Amino acid sequence: MKSVPDTSGKTATAVRSATAEAVPTHGRRRHGLAVALSLYTLLRAINFATLAIAANIQHEDLRGLLLAFDATWYADIAVNGYDDVVKADSNGLLKQSNLAFFPLYPALTAAVKSTLHVDVGAALLMVANVAAFAAAAALYAIGSHIRSPRTGILLAALWAVTPHAMVQSMGYSESVFTALAAYGLFALLRRQWLTAGILTLLAGLTRPTAAALIATVVLVALLAVWRKPVLWRAWAAILLAPLGLVGFMTWVAVRLGRIDGYFYAQSQAWNMSFDGGFYTVRFFVYSFVRSSFLGGSAPFEYAEVSLVLAAASLLLFAAVRARVPWPLLLYAAICLIVAFTGAGFYWSKARMLVPAFPLLLPLVFWSERSRLRIVLVITLLTVMSAFLTVYLSLHWKHSF
């Protein structure tokens, strides 16, 4: 009778070895997250300090700069709620209405204001900055998931110094939306369908750009159920994803008593619509032909936005070549299409791309190959972002 070899010792050794390897990996990811958030905080602090110094030199109210433009509308909603109607002025022209702004950010602001007993401006800034911090953590998670902790660290760092990154520290909704979109996409990449669906629903209550996230989640989930129809969680994600966006637009339609209520408020009161990109092309050409760089009448801001749109388009093609996961590509592409096809407020188009963080991945992939590239890219973007923050806050005098 043959003896059976005792493998229990070898098995136990293998288990201990696997556990020993897993612990450092988890530890490295936690360490990477700490590094990512620390670097993000440092870069945002540099940007913020630059604006604070410049504002002090020019005797401007820093808090007022952080709570300008869109922040005033969100504050009004948080305190007074939404308009009942879109009012007209003495000439019969419709006045701007807060019905064009989505409800989640002001709702969070109202909750913080009530809970912590702070003024509405402080609540706006607290929500935005906490959300920006959460978004940086989500970007680290995505970068680590698709490649390595270093990728996640650099993705969070570069997002901190995008051209219009200052809105991450202002009373704007971009930080809240980016956090929801990033965690939603992270859940989608890991096929956590219910989480992706719920986060997309919330994103739909934050900004109309949620259409990009909704389309991405629904398409990925549809492909999953096409292959395996019994995936009820994927079916749930398909149903949940559009509810926030569609729900708010339906609510505005009921409030105004017309089926196109939200689009009516956007187009008639705010002069914003979608025209397939003709408006953007016209201003793109105008910004360069008559740029202030060449002594023309077009302001510097128009040229800067045109450069950002051009760079974003090139980065999208680079992302395709770099084989960025296609759900991230789709989300970024739709974000770019929404910005490009919208008519009105040309100077806001670059700010609309702040949540399109997958466009940074080709630059991350290129820079992470050497420490010199990392230092060079972060330094250049930090200087550029700080300059634009000061210019847009102190000299442009229009919405960010």
Domain count, the chain: 1
- Residue that the structure tokens 């700490």 belong to: 34
Tokens read off for 113? 């204001």
Q: Residue 360 domain-assigned?
A: yes
Asked if residues 175 and 187 have their Cβ atoms less than 8 Å apart, the reply is: no
pLDDT by residue (tens digit) across 188-201? Answer: 999 999 999 999 99
28 CB contacts (<8 Å, ≥6 apart)?
149
Specify the long-range contacts of residues 313-317, CB closer than 8 Å, at least 24 apart. 315/359, 315/360, 315/362, 315/363, 316/359
Tokens read off for 108? 């969070």
Q: Residue 122 domain-assigned?
A: yes
Asked if residues 180 and 187 have their Cβ atoms less than 8 Å apart, the reply is: no
Give the closest residue to 200 by CA, choosing from 318, 74, 334, 77: 334
Helices (H), the chain: 8-57, 62-66, 70-80, 104-116, 120-146, 149-160, 174-189, 193-203, 210-227, 232-240, 243-256, 261-264, 278-289, 300-321, 326-341, 349-352, 361-367, 371-391
CA dihedral for 181, 168, 275, 93, sign (positive or negative):
positive
Q: Residue 379 domain-assigned?
A: yes
Q: What is the domain range of residue 151?
A: 34-396
Residue 62, Cα to own-chain centre: how many angstroms? Answer: 23
* pLDDT tens by residue, the chain, 400 residues: 444 454 444 444 444 444 344 344 777 788 999 999 999 999 999 999 999 999 999 999 999 999 999 999 999 999 999 999 999 887 878 899 999 999 999 999 999 999 999 999 999 999 999 999 999 999 999 999 999 999 999 999 999 999 999 999 999 999 999 999 999 999 999 999 999 999 999 999 999 999 999 999 999 999 999 999 999 999 999 999 999 999 999 999 999 999 999 999 999 999 999 999 999 998 888 887 665 555 555 678 888 999 999 999 999 999 999 999 999 999 999 999 999 999 999 999 999 999 999 999 999 999 999 999 999 999 999 999 999 999 999 998 788 8
Q: Residue 2 domain-assigned?
A: no
- Residue 302, phi-psi category: left (phi > 0), alpha (psi -120 to 50), beta (remainder): alpha
Q: Residue 11 domain-assigned?
A: no
Q: Residue 15 domain-assigned?
A: no
Q: Residue 12 domain-assigned?
A: no
Give the closest residue to 112 by CA, choosing from 124, 130, 129: 124
Q: Residue 236 domain-assigned?
A: yes
pLDDT by residue (tens digit) across 368-400? Answer: 999 999 999 999 999 999 999 999 999 987 888
352 burial type by CB count under 10 A (0-12 exposed, 13-18 middle, 19+ buried):
buried
Say what the pLDDT of residue 283 is. Answer: 87
Pairing of strands 342-343, 273-274: antiparallel
